[in-house]
Structure 1
Amino acid sequence: MGWDYALVHLYYNIPPAALLTACYYPFCTKLDVYKILFLVIIAVASTTPWDSYLIRRRIWTYPSDAIVGPTLFNIPAEEIFFFVIQTYNTSLLYLLASKPTFHSIYLRGEKLLHDGRRLRTWRWIAAVFLVAAILLGAAMIAQNGRGLYMGLIIVWAGPFILSLWMLAYQLLINLPASNTLFPVLAPTLYLWIVDTIALRRGTWVIQSGTKLGWHLWDGLDVEEAFFFLVTNTLIVFGLVAFDNALAILNTFPCHFPAVAPLPSPVQLVKALLFSPSHYQDDRILGLQEALKRLRKKSRSFYLASGCFEGRLRIDLILLYSFCRVADDLVDNASSGAEARQWIVKLTEYLDICYAKTAEKSTSRDAFIRSAFPAQAQSALLLLPTAYLSPTPLYDLIRGFETDLDFSTGHFPIADELKLKIYGSRVAGTVAELCLELAFHHSNGQNGQQERQEIVQAGGRMGIALQYVNIARDIAVDVKNNRVYIPTSWLDSKVLRPEDVLKDPSSLMVEALRQRLLDEAMDIYKEAKGAIELLPSQSRGPMRVAVESYVEIGRLLRESGYKVKAGRATVPKRRRLRVAWTALRKG
């Protein structure tokens, strides 16, 4: 009886697990736990027979003075624990790296000819290589000599890797290297170092007659190095396949109407076997465009969007995309007359969407393609109006009309009431729609009365965030001849809107910026309690969305903040810290 192997875990494997757990805990969801347990069970079940065979063949052994004693199929308890801890650590690293990733945009249907053909070509090239490797491994086993250990690794792992590759090749090829290579290579290098220490101490021993005799470096056999590379590859491939299946299930509701919060293995396999020829390429392209708009126009909500899951995340991105496109159509119009035409067309679009006719969908699509520019069409086509209330959307369009009043030389924000109405229309409405989506996609038990109260609080929170937005963008708005500070406030400082246009950075304007922020913070404090009443799936992410934007207001109260393109910007590390703290609250 000995403690050497147990101490390897205590010194080298458990501390990284504790650190990764502490880092990821605020972001962890039930779905993440499900993924990890799924992978751990598969890892233990698939590795145990193979490991037991190697031990019985004495290809590797564990000195009796290095292990505690209990075994399962001749495998020491410490080795079983290693299957678990390695899978756990690599899985957490993958989840950390891929948390912001929007997997839907990496799918490719066969109608996307260039990408589809490229992916299919690489799929079969890699498949041929893997089959050849498996055959080589079988030949090494047949020789029963120095290549036996390497052959057994290849023949055991090769079929798993081949199967996962054939099922999840799209994401394995298209995902960023930070999602795939990093969570493979980082733990592999770490385990190479740990394995070198263990081999030199004699914690486990590899029979010399079964090894090739090659070393990656002194003390590390090439077979051991290859084993850890392969096992971490298996873990990451398995997680990517899981995310590939989820992306298919969530991206194509017309093919998969109902998706369980924790999809069964059968449903996951069905998704992976779903032919790319049936993917909706227009929807994939629309989601790509929507995410691009989000990333470019709102770093705060882009960060928050990564905390939402499944179809709720997709629909929130689509909602933002519509709001952004509609706003840009009006703001970027060449004249006031053209801008008003866009408002008329957007109103007609909503009229068609909410018309109770059998031909609604066909007429809507035809109208969008004939009335709107190509770059705006996907945002209108994909807006999930089926479960969004019409009133907030109509009010949003009415908010754009207020912006148009500036083009006439008029300053429509006469007093605080007008400011609140404007904030309600252009931001409170969006907050209400976000909450509607949260309730639609959740299995929460909120009653109808409580939902209405939460939505109303969300509308007030939207006003607070719009005040922050106005406070941040005073200089930017001036370039468009707009002043959103109430004229009545300006009067109290013996100012006119024209004075703000001339000098948006004056001390008196700065004082009014702080007043806007005071108003925003008061509303924020009054309304933020409603977040804690949201369904658990959306509570933390919604808190991140709010806190990320409120942080801009906090930044504006500090001196020396960074300005980019006329706007105060929250540094990336600070935004991440805000998100982590917001999620840690539960």
Structure 2
Amino acid sequence: MRSAGGGRYREPLVAKSYDMIAQGSKSFAAASWLFDRATRERVWLLYAWCRRCDDIADGQTLGGELGDQSGISGRVKAIRALTRRALDGEPTADVGFDAFGQVASECGLTMEMADDVIAGFELDAAGWRPRGEKDLARYCYHVAGAVGVMMARVMGVPKDDSATLDRACDLGLAFQLANIARDLDEDDAADRCYLPMEWLAEEDIEPGQLMKPHHRWEVAELANRLVLKMDKHLRAAKLGTVGLPFRSRWAVLSAANIYGAIGYEVRRLGRDAWNHRVVVSRFEKLRIIAASFFEALRNNPIPPDEMPEWTRADILIEVRMAGPIPEPDFKPLPDEE
């Protein structure tokens, strides 16, 4: 029989989802406790699917060290198949996907929303790299902006509230820009680069030489460009919190400010930003959460000097025009030949 959550009881599914967020993202885990109980549990369920998809695609465990990158195309195909099963209420034998089936049934999440996220993994599987800023915007949308939209739906934002969903997308874009800036060295070690090739050409950085010592000043400048974009999207995202319930507003602002702190620290460190992984200490997180309480209480966000160049509407046009990433060919199993 088909049922939400693949037949699992909801309570243990929520508990396992929390374990995943607690181990996989201490920043999100800390901010999530600020939500009311119902929203908090749904955020955990959605996070469990995001974390599991990321781990499967990258061959890692709870966001740890990147694993073997061979066979990624097959793993992405499995992600889509399991997601479809979860949405159909069928058991997947995987907590993360059953969690998605549960929260999707409660909040009206669709396969189209999930496909927008999975497309980001397909880009990685295809060895894709951005040529210009439009390509970078598209990638950031797939891996984070689309998640921001789903998170907004989980918080109860109506599907026709485009203005708030646009700001939720901005928050996801800001998070991913901070991630890219922080993880330039880790991505380079995995033969990945999310900086537009046009940016690299402008700085005369040769292929394969991004993280070499003699290019550290140029890399710091490129990271600064990412952080400037992050800042603009972060400020725009805060405009969308005005209509949220107080606890949701506090949680979103806390997460925004914690991730913003990561980006700003990368900028402050300059060429030394990749000597060790930039993190926000537990004490600093508590300080940010406390400051975000008063920011949420004032509920009067200051808009950016100018709104971001990247908009959800423009990105979606690019995404829909580009069409889906073609699925790779697969050899049939021996008994199917």
Shorter chain as denominator, the TM-score bin is: 0.7 to 0.9
Question: Which structure's relative contact order is higher, taking Cα pairs within 8 Å and 6+ residues apart?
Answer: 2
Question: For each residue in 1:327-356, what CA deviation from the matched residue of structure 2 results, as whole angstroms up to 9, or x when unmatched?
Answer: 11011164533x2222212222333344xx
CA apart distance, 1:566: 4.0
Q: Of the two, which has the highest radius of gyration?
A: 1
Please tell me whether residue 317 in structure 1 is matched to residue 44 in structure 2. Answer: yes
Identity %: 24
- 1:182-239 deviations in whole A, cap 9, x for unaligned? xxxxxxxxxxxxxxxxxxxxxxxxxxxxxxxxxxxxxxxxxxxxxxxxxxxxxxxxxx
1:457 and 1:530 in contact (8 A); partners too: yes
| Corresponding residue number in structure 1 for 2:134 | 417
- Code of the aligned partner of 2:58: D
Q: Does 1:341 align with 2:74?
A: yes
Q: Does 1:435 align with 2:152?
A: yes
* Alpha-carbon distance in structure 2 between the residues aligned to 1:504 and 1:352: 49
Query: Distance in 2 between the 1:573 and 1:320 partners?
Result: 24
Deviation of 1:537 after TM superposition, in Å, equals: 3.9
Return closer, same or farther for 1:341/1:452 CA change in 2, 3 Å cut-off.
same
Q: Which residue is equivalent to 1:44?
A: none
Structure-2 change in CA distance of 1:379 and 1:399 (3 Å):
same
Aligned: 1:389 with 2:122: no
Per-residue CA deviation, residues 334-385 of structure 1 (Å, 9 max, x unaligned), is 4533x2222212222333344xxxxx42xx21xx13xxxxxxx111112211
Name which of 34, 57, 78 aligns with 1:307. 34
AA aligned opposite 1:385: A
1:572 aligns with 2:282: yes
Task: After TM superposition, give the deviation of residue 513 of structure 1 in Å.
Answer: 0.6
Alpha-carbon distance, 1:559 to partner? 3.5
Distance 2:186 2:68 in 1: 18
The unaligned stretches of length 5 or more in structure 1 are 1-253, 255-279, 355-359, 370-376, 441-446
Contact kept in structure 1, 2:211 and 2:219, CA below 8 Å? no
Match of 1:188?
Answer: none
- Cα drift, residue 294 of structure 1: 1.6
Which amino acid in the other structure matches residue 322 of structure 1? Answer: W
* Paired position in structure 1 for 2:210: 500
What's the offset of the Cα at 1:413? 1.4
Query: What is the aligned counterpart of 1:296 among 23, 47, 53?
Result: 23
Higher helix share: 1
Q: Deviations over 1:551-582 (max 9, x none)?
A: 11122222399989942011221111111111
Distance 1:297 1:539 in 2: 23
Root-mean-square deviation (CA, aligned residues, Å) is: 2.7
Residue 323 of structure 1 deviates from its aligned partner by 0.4
User: Is the CA contact 2:217–2:270 (under 8 Å) kept in the aligned structure 1?
Assistant: no
- Following superposition, the deviation at residue 550 of structure 1 comes to 1.0
1:558 match: secondary structure = helix
Tell me, in whole angstroms, the C-alpha distance in 2 between the residues paired with 1:526 and 1:563.
26
**Corresponding residue of 1:520:** 230
Counterpart CA distance in 2 for 1:562 and 1:473 is 13
- In structure 1, the residue matched to 2:63 is none
Matched residue count? 280
Contact 2:76 2:125 (C-alpha < 8 Å) held by counterparts: no
Measured in 1, the distance between the counterparts of 2:125 and 2:241 equals 33
Q: Deviations over 1:381-435 (max 9, x none)?
A: 12211122332211110001112233xxxx5111111110000000001111110
Counterpart Cα distance in 2 of 1:538 and 1:490: 39
Could you tell me whether the CA contact under 8 Å between 1:561 and 1:569 is conserved in 2? no
Instruction: Output the TM-score relative to the length of structure 1.
Output: 0.45
Unpaired stretches in structure 2, ≥5 consecutive residues:
60-66, 298-337
Aligned partners of 2:211, 2:240: CA distance in 1, in Å? 38
Q: Distance in 1 between matches of 2:148 and 2:159?
A: 18
- Provide closer, same or farther for how the CA distance between residues 396 and 503 of structure 1 changes in structure 2, counting only shifts above 3 A: farther
Counterpart-to-counterpart distance in 1, 2:248 and 2:135: 32
Q: What's the offset of the Cα at 1:534?
A: 1.9
- Residue 523 of structure 1 aligns with an amino acid whose one-letter code is H
Q: Select the residue among 450, 464, 478 that pairs with 2:174.
A: 464
Shift of 1:282: 5.5
Q: Contact between 2:43 and 2:154, CA under 8 Å: does it hold in 1?
A: yes
Equivalent positions of 1:72-91 (< 5 A) are: none
TM-score by length of 2: 0.76
Output one character per residue of 1:97-126: Cα deviation in whole Å (capped at 9) or x when no partner.
xxxxxxxxxxxxxxxxxxxxxxxxxxxxxx
CA distance in 1, matches of 2:43, 2:29: 10
